[in-house]
Structure 1
Amino acid sequence: MSGRSARAEQPQAHGAGDPQPDDRVLTWPNLISFVRLLGVPLFLYLFLVERFDVAAIVVLAVGGTSDWVDGWIARRLGQVSRLGELLDPLADRLYILATLIAFTVREVVPWQFTAALLARELLLVGSLGVLRRYGYGPPPVHYVGKTATFLLLAAFPILLLAAVVPAASAVAGAVGWALAWWGLVLYWVAGALYVIQARQLVRAVRGRQGGPA
């Protein structure tokens, strides 16, 4: 394989007790992920076009909760699939990016917060591009990244609640921003871990090829 090991094409690792991913498409977790993807344009339509803020809060809350549900069902039923491993983080990122853009447009969050999260995404895209050049796919999702995603997806509907319901603004705003800032910090920590992992993988390939580390 022109200096690249077969393992380089399959970098994702699973624990000894974890179900191994297969090629199934029609599974309950994948169905949930497809529904979550459909929720992204629905949220944008409700929030930016129709201004149905309460309905938008519900869509965000369901989208964030189902992020945990599909993973739990996949492990519980042994329905871990390669498609699911792509769809789940894709749905997470689309929810985060779509929500950030919509919130920035309607001034629910400051643009600086959005810029900080988008900068992290650009860092990850650059790292993935380098890995692809060396025959690697995306690195396995780190628990820090999962925690950051959970915090952000939990923060967004609470921040929206604070923005559209004046009676709840004080408490919901405090809780929402606490979750959001912790999520942002952990998002960057996870990004740094991905960059370190990518560097280690690239150095390993260069070492096998006899190139500079």
Structure 2
Amino acid sequence: MSDAAARPVVSDRVWTIPNVLSALRLVLVPVFFVFIVVGNDLAALIVIIVSTVSDWADGVIARRFGQITKLGQLLDPAADRLFIMAAVIGLAVREVVPWWLVAVIIGRDVFLVVLGVVLAQHRFGPLPVHHIGKTATFALFYALPTLVLGQAFPAVAAVSDPIGWAFALWGAFLYWWAGLLYLRQTRALIRQHPLDSGDASDTLARRRATDG
């Protein structure tokens, strides 16, 4: 089977079940943030559980029923990152996590935005997501709710807090590791295709082999 045949079809559709679920997750972000800040940890935990289940469901539906869309590829990671940001800022406001962790996580996302601007100036699209970046997002996405669990149920904090912090620190490390890999890819692409060469691709799909 060729790579083209194995690659899933990505459509321009907007109204799909996975996109609706992703939009729902985005709507839940401010709700989750308010619950965290005011200290309603049980409600915040319920919201994050609903979000996690919907995240799993939209991925399964998109793959099984051929509903992978360009919009969904934007909404899904956006919802993940916003939940992470909402959790870490909310917990920092309550002094559950230090502000340096906020700076580490948000600083990396700002760093990627800068790389995106540089790539756009050279007529490249977004970089393909690296598996280390996916692992980092997974670790952070589950680390912060685990810390919330300890706040909601103090009886389990002795177990949940160390697990949450282990995921948080490992996730933050991988987050920046992936960021440095994206920097390496960006530099390689720009060196191979200077802006004045006139042959820079408008997407990165054709350049996946640059970094293996």
| Alignment TM-score > 0.5, same fold | yes
Q: CA separation in 2, counterparts of 1:159 and 1:35?
A: 23
Structure 1 residue 172 corresponds to structure 2 residue 172: no
Q: CA separation in 2, counterparts of 1:44 and 1:113?
A: 17
Which residue in the other structure is 1:17 paired with?
6
Q: CA separation in 2, counterparts of 1:177 and 1:157?
A: 11
| Residue of 88, 99, 103 corresponding to 1:111 | 99
Q: CA separation in 1, counterparts of 2:141 and 2:105?
A: 13
1:49-101 deviation per Cα after TM superposition (whole angstroms, max 9, x unaligned): 4x321010111233234334322322222111111111111111111111111
Which residue in the other structure is 2:184 paired with?
196
Consecutive unaligned residues in structure 1, runs of 5 or more:
1-13
Which residue in the other structure is 1:82 paired with?
70
Which residue in the other structure is 1:148 paired with?
136
Q: CA separation in 1, counterparts of 2:23 and 2:194?
A: 38
Structure 1 residue 62 corresponds to structure 2 residue 50: yes
Worse overlay, 148-157 or 58-67: 58-67
Per the normalisation by structure 2, the TM-score is 0.85
- Provide closer, same or farther for how the CA distance between residues 72 and 201 of structure 1 changes in structure 2, counting only shifts above 3 A: farther
Matches for 1:30-69 after TM superposition, within 5 Å: 30-49=19-38, 51-69=39-57
Structure 1 residue 27 corresponds to structure 2 residue 16: yes
Which residue in the other structure is 1:157 paired with?
145
* CA drift at 1:104: 0.7
Higher relative contact order (CA 8 A, sep 6+): 1
Letter in 2 for 1:116: V
Contact 1:18 1:75 in 2 (8 A): no
Worse overlay, 168-177 or 69-78: 69-78
Q: CA RMSD in A?
A: 1.9
How many correspondences in the alignment? 196
Per the normalisation by structure 1, the TM-score is 0.84
Letter in 2 for 1:201: L
1:166-206 deviation per Cα after TM superposition (whole angstroms, max 9, x unaligned): 21111000111111111111111111111111112222221
Consecutive unaligned residues in structure 2, runs of 5 or more:
199-212
- Provide closer, same or farther for how the CA distance between residues 186 and 67 of structure 1 changes in structure 2, counting only shifts above 3 A: farther
Letter in 2 for 1:31: V
Give aligned-pair identity as a percent.
Answer: 48
* CA drift at 1:163: 2.4
